[in-house]
Amino acid sequence: MSCADLLTRTELAGYGVVQGGEFPEGPNGPKNEDFSMCGWNSGPNGRYRLMVALDRTERSNSWVGKKDAAEPIRGFRTSGGRRGGGESVTIATGPGTGSVQVWGTTRKPIRSVAQRVLANLLSRSEDR
């Protein structure tokens, strides 16, 4: 599964980011099934941008925040904050499965984008 599978074109358009897709390289060379990163924006000089990284390279995700703390996604350990001029959310996707990171500035709050990414990730994982 890649980060490009986590949002539909309709969802991306709703967030104001219609251009972009998956990057050909991971953090340590060519992309593989353990890491993928995607980026979308609203145009060359666009106001909105969104990045999504699906990272299974570090399967121990214990560094991600506390479960059900004052963070945005109930039932999952999450961390939030600011990153690169926008909001960010990191979600521990399950024991031994790594994390998904969502950051940027979109028409909707990053929290709601992250919730949609997580819902899509979980539904696609169940399909396998």
DSSP letter at 97 equals S
Domain count, the chain: 1
Greatest alpha-carbon pair distance for the chain in Å reads: 39
pLDDT band at 84 (very low <50, low <70, confident <90, very high): low
Please give the pLDDT value at position 97: 75
What is d(CA 102, CA 51) in angstroms, rounded to the nearest whole number? Answer: 6
Please give the pLDDT value at position 2: 82
Average pLDDT over residues 2-8: 88
Where in the sequence is the domain holding 54, given as residue range(s)?
3-127
**Among 17, 35, 16, which Cα is nearest to 25's?**
35
> pLDDT (tens digit, 9 = 90+) per residue, 20-60?
988 876 656 666 677 888 999 998 888 899 999 888 776 66
Instruction: Take residue 38 and report the two structure tokens written for it.
Output: 């995607």
Please give the pLDDT value at position 61: 66
Q: Which one-letter amino acid corresponds to residue 43?
A: G
Average pLDDT over residues 114-122: 88
Could you tell me the pTM of the whole model? 0.81
What is d(CA 56, CA 73) in angstroms, rounded to the nearest whole number? Answer: 20
Residues 101 and 113 sit within 8 Å (Cβ to Cβ): no
Residues 99 and 90 sit within 8 Å (Cβ to Cβ): yes
Looking at the chain, the whole-number percentage of residues with pLDDT higher than 90 is 24
